[in-house]
Structure 1
Amino acid sequence: MEEGFFLKKNLFETEVIPEQLTKFLKVLHELIDIGIVIELNILSDWIDQDNDVKNKLRERLVVIEDLRLKFSSKKLKKLMGV
């Protein structure tokens, strides 16, 4: 019996299905990336007006790139004029 991420062999024994978990994590990663872009769009006027905010975001750009958040990285670079 298959249900989401788990495979139930019997009532008390459960196994994780790696393929399902991998699919879920990929979708979650994309949703996080899109969510950050939405927040950046909402805050873009404030970011444009405040150089201190731009500097703090510039520091975070490395982390965002390390996490391979490609849409967020692209949006941040655009906001900072990089």
Structure 2
Amino acid sequence: MREFKDVKKRDVIRAFATIRLAMEEKCDRLTDWTDQGNALEQALSLRMEENVTKGLDFVERFLLGTREEVSEEGRS
């Protein structure tokens, strides 16, 4: 496993994109269901998008906070 300092923001975003794609593929399979299945697919897609967005926002804040800490240490 890589050290945190070696992880690039694009790697984190790429990982989230891969997870999202896999979840979307699962949601696509639900479209073969009845109207109830389609309603479930819509609810899952909305919830998934909310969770991915929250996750990316958290990661971005975390990475920005880490950069600020590193630059503050460099000034000391």
Q: TM-score normalised to the size of structure 2?
A: 0.45
Larger radius of gyration: 1
Structure with greater strand percent: 1
Structure with greater helix percent: 2
Q: Tell which has more relative contact order, 1 or 2 (C-alpha 8 A, sep 6+).
A: 2
Q: TM-score normalised to the size of structure 1?
A: 0.43
